[in-house]
Amino acid sequence: MKGPYLYVSYGQTNALVREPYQKVLIGLAIVALILVPFFAGPYVIYLLNLSFLAVISAVGLNLLTGYCGQVSLGHASFMGIGAFATAILDNVYSAPFWLAIPAACAAGGVFGFLVGLPSLRFRGIYLAITTLAMHYAIVFVLTTYQANVGASATAGIIVDPPSLWGFSLSDGKQWYIPLLVFSMLVALFGLNLSRSYVGRAWIAIRDRDIAAAAMGIDVPRFKLIAFVVSAVLAALAGSLGAYFTGVVTVETYTLELAILALAMIIVGGLGSIVGSIFGALFITLLPFVIDYGFSALPRAWRPGTTSYGLQEAAIGITIILFLLFEPKGLVEIYRRIAEYFERWPFRYREIQGGGR
């Protein structure tokens, strides 16, 4: 016996895809994404590649902040560690990409462990300030390396396109499928990890760490695991981004990038891997949609050099609107739409209290 809202086994409750229509939607989305390079232009493919990198980063941050409840403002620095580790391995040691990427992830994991140590003593705003301080410390080290060791203090460090069996990934179209696969694998990893005993321990710590400790959960251990996993995924995004752009510069990994990562999981939905995907796509594409809208206006009405400020303002306003009107993010909007069609043509009305 199984209905839309009644599950009689643990397997049904914990299933990744519960309804047939969800399988159809996922299948159609995958087919559409695979067919994009055959119909879309280079600019659209470039935007989607940026979105795939953002998905990897957002999933990592959501595991830490959305599931474990540890607020971090140092996510961009972990991406910088992955990018600079990749650049160093490529320029100094001529390491192949299949070795440089895991090494960059390992470097991110080490720094994630070190940054996570203060989380054992701090929480809330104090933890956020601590991660912010660590962010500036890491950025200072990366800046010093770029200025004193790198080929150019302003132009950054050049990273050669990776190649495997004579096939080089040198343009956006060639990068599309690899980045799509990486983002899908990371999303699948996040979904399964969040449903495992590790993810359930994170949720217990997020909701009430004292109660979690009373139930026998090793709170310090699971907090460190959250920081390490988040840092590894951020370093993976940074490493892939270094190969994709072909240049690594410390100016990319600023506090603004960390705020954008937070915006992605807030807009998409805290504590939701699907929300991470929605938020990453929304925040990444929003500035370009605004630019496209302005380009359609008459030339006299275009904002010119102020368009960048308008993009930043739009992201800020978007965060405020979601916090005010839909704190659970885009994934909650999707849930409501799906629930409406699941119950159609029957309507559900909430019980109105206070009257007889």
What residue segments make up the domains of the chain, in order of their start?
43-253
Residue whose entry in the numeric block shows the structure tokens 């070190």: 114
Alpha helices in the chain (DSSP H): 10-13, 20-39, 42-61, 75-91, 97-116, 125-148, 172-195, 197-207, 209-214, 219-245, 255-268, 273-295, 307-325, 330-343
Phi and psi based region of residue 69 (left: phi greater than 0; alpha: psi -120 to 50; beta: remaining): left
The whole-angstrom separation of Cα 30 and Cα 50 is: 17
DSSP for residue 9:
S
The whole-angstrom separation of Cα 333 and Cα 170 is: 38
> Whole-prediction pTM value?
0.90
Query: What DSSP string describes 214-228?
Result: HTT--HHHHHHHHHH
CA distances from 34 to 45, 178, 179 (A): 11, 11, 12
Distance of CA 62 to the CA centre of its chain: 7
Residue whose entry in the numeric block shows the structure tokens 């217990």: 204
Written as tens digits, the pLDDT of the chain (356 aa) is 344 556 676 667 677 777 777 788 888 999 999 999 888 889 999 999 999 999 999 999 999 999 999 999 999 999 999 999 999 999 888 899 999 999 999 999 999 999 998 878 888 888 889 999 999 999 999 999 888 876 665 678 889 888 776 677 888 889 999 999 999 999 999 999 998 999 999 999 999 989 999 999 999 999 999 999 999 999 999 999 999 999 999 999 999 999 999 999 999 999 999 999 999 999 999 988 888 777 776 766 666 566 667 777 888 888 899 988 989 999 999 888 887 777 666 665 555 554 44
Q: Are 280 and 264 in contact (CB under 8 A)?
A: yes
Q: Are 98 and 240 in contact (CB under 8 A)?
A: no
Q: Are 80 and 253 in contact (CB under 8 A)?
A: yes
Q: Length of the chain in residues, anyone?
A: 356
- For residue 266, which of 252, 278, 255 has the smallest C-alpha distance? 278
